[in-house]
Amino acid sequence: MSLADHIARVQDRIARGCARAGRDPATVTLVAISKTFPAEAVLETFRLGLRDFGENRVEEAEEKISNIKCQISNLQPEIKNQKSEIAWHLVGHLQSRKAREAVELFDVIHSVDSVKLANRLSRLCVEAGRVMPVLLECNVSGEESKYGFRVTNVAERDAWLPEVEAMLALPGVRVEGLMTVAPIVADPNDARPYFRALSELRDHLRVHLPQSDWHHLSMGMTHDFEVAIEQGATLVRIGRAIFGERQ
């Protein structure tokens, strides 16, 4: 099966998930997760029309993004009637020591998982004269192995609200929503409670902290993204279903 076939199949699954939820497929952004895949794979996917790409590690992204930016200029004749800019999403854990590089490389950061990191990004973005859209990563499953703000019950949620309010006030960053990574489960429907929990948390924040519109929910990957869409995902992070198995 070709890369074009893989993309078409993913887009069809997005459309079916939206149909079950009564949603417009245009409300869901497909973020192609290109970690471990070479620049050539990203460029081929770019030629096929995708414009949102995600990376997990700043170190891997640095050389890849630079390489791709150089090569896209050579594709202008092929894409003259299309948008030529890629939006780069950082979806993996971000260490504070790599925050400066992340601000230089990425257009959206999905994985703000501490007030300390939010403050550092704020300072760096102000220095760079930009405003970075960010999402707050939430651990709604309570798994010890997961990064993110732990928000598994009402008490944890209420204790977290003052931190969220402080992050909303930071210059240089614009909090646009939430992100989560669901547990790995055999049946995608078993991930539904975690996606629903993130959606309900977003609804609570909209009421109590309306300084943001809390537009985005980044949740769902190859195995479970249709369920995530049914629960309100606006950004789905798809790697394997597009690029194939990683080496």
Domain boundaries, the chain: 3-243
Distance of alpha carbon 76 from alpha carbon 129, whole angstroms: 29
Give the chain's largest Cα–Cα span. 56
- Which helix H or strand E contains 88, and what residues bound it? strand 87-90
Residues 45-82 pLDDT 10s? 998 999 999 999 999 999 899 888 877 766 655 554 45
CATH 3.20.20.10 holds for 3-243: yes
State the number of CA atoms in the 13 A half-sphere of 1 facing the CB.
12
pLDDT in tens, 4-61: 999 999 999 999 999 999 999 999 999 999 998 999 999 999 989 999 999 999 999 9
- What span, in angstroms and rounded, lies between the C-alpha atoms of 243 and 16? 21
In this predicted model, what pLDDT tens digit does every residue of 79-130 receive, in sequence order?
A: 544 556 899 999 999 999 999 999 999 999 999 999 999 999 999 999 999 9
Task: List Cβ neighbours of 128 (8 Å cut-off, separation of 6 or more).
Answer: 103, 104, 172
Structure tokens at 156: 């944890």
The span from the CA of 149 to the CA of 117, in Å, is 12
**pLDDT number for residue 57:** 94
pLDDT tens for each residue of 121-159: 999 999 999 999 999 999 999 999 999 999 999 999 999
Q: Which two tokens stand for residue 228?
A: 């995530």
